[in-house]
Each structure stands twice: as structure tokens, then as C-alpha cells.
Amino acid sequence: MKNLKTKKFSLLVFLILLMAIPTVKSLGVSSPRPPDLRMMQGDTAEFTFQIQAVTSTHKQSCTCYTEGFDPLIITFKEKTITINAGQTGVVYGVINAPYDAPIKTYSGKIFASCTPIVETQDLSGSRISQTSGIKYTLSVVGSESERNIPQMPKPTKKEVPTISTSSVMTIIIIIIAVLAIGVYYWSERKRKKK
């Protein structure tokens, strides 16, 4: 009976840890800012978003691209952005609404495709890229009163380390598992002394 309890408990701890593993090495793309961009034909507006490599163990080389915004012209201020391991990188982009762009709401996606930068000597092989995307909606409007183009903060090169929600959850799960194992073995040891 005791052996069965130990096996069940060990299996439960294993499953909890297994659920935490996929969240450890992930990349994410934040929601673009400004969230409610409304431009007129001929306008140019800036936007920004973050690529979050907080749980990555390697530097990441990321390129960004968009889908679904035609005929709007979207460019990024940097063709490639390098993000240090455990950091967040800010991407700055520019949207140009041509004079003949239809007045309507555009809904598309912004993608970041990142490849780890791994230094190797005399080794060959391929690196695995990870692509993350986020939906972005903006509008081309017909009147000045509808226009909303907020000023964006100036670009900075400083990367600020942050911790993601998935990392916090992983740490909490590991702490709970370690505490549960400790309590279990402490109670077994106490029971054996009686």
C-alpha cells in the first residue's frame, strides 16, 4: 500500500513538472501600440511592440513582417533586431497609408521570426526558428475628427529584464512540487519513528 502511494505521488509530481516544461523556453510578441490607430489617406504613423525572449537561454536574432494590411505600407526601423537572452526587445515600425488607400478598418498580423544565436566551433546543422504573431487592427478614416495618431515614445537601446507570467507560474509549480515532496517524506519519516 505504501509503495503504491509513493508511486502515485511520484507520478503526480512528474506530471506537474512535465506541464511546466513547455513554458520555459518560449518567445512572445506583445500587443502593438497605439491600440486604436486611425489615420487618413496620405498619413504616416509610428507603432511599436515588444518581442519577449525572457525565458530564452540564448540571444535571439529576430526579423519582423506583416500580413493582411495591403495596400498599407509597413516598414520596420531595423531590419533585424538582436535580443539578449532573458530580455525584451522593442521593435519600432512605420505605417504609411497611400493616398488611394480605401477608407476602412484593416485587420492583419504582425510576426516576429526569431532564431537563436549559438556560437559553435566546427559543428554544422540547422538552427530552429520560432515565429510568433499578434493580431493588429487599424483604420484609415475619412475625416480629421476621426483621426487618432498618438505620438510614440522615442526609441531607446536599453533592454530591461522582465519576467513573464509563464516563468512565474513555472517557478510556483516547482516550489509547490518541492514542498509537497518534502512534506510527504517528512511525514513518512515521522511515521517510521513511531
- Domains of the chain, by residue range, sit at 1-24+165-194, 31-162
Per-residue confidence in pLDDT tens, the chain, 194 aa: 566 666 666 666 665 555 544 433 567 788 888 888 999 999 999 999 998 877 777 888 899 999 999 999 999 999 899 988 888 889 999 999 999 999 999 999 999 888 887 766 655 555 567 788 889 999 999 999 999 888 766 655 554 555 666 667 778 888 998 888 888 888 887 777 76
The whole-number pLDDT of residue 74 equals 94
Question: How far is 170 from 21, CA to CA, in rounded Å?
Answer: 8
- Reference 27, options 58, 51, 49, 61; nearest CA is 51
Instruction: Say if residues 38 and 143 touch (Cβ distance below 8 Å).
Output: no
pLDDT score at 130: 79
Question: What is the assigned CATH class of domain 31-162?
Answer: mainly beta
pLDDT at 136: 92
pLDDT of residue 20: 46
Answer yes or no: are the C-beta atoms of 93 and 134 closer than 8 Å. Answer: no
| pLDDT for 23 | 38
Question: Whole-angstrom Cα distance, residue 156 to residue 126?
Answer: 32
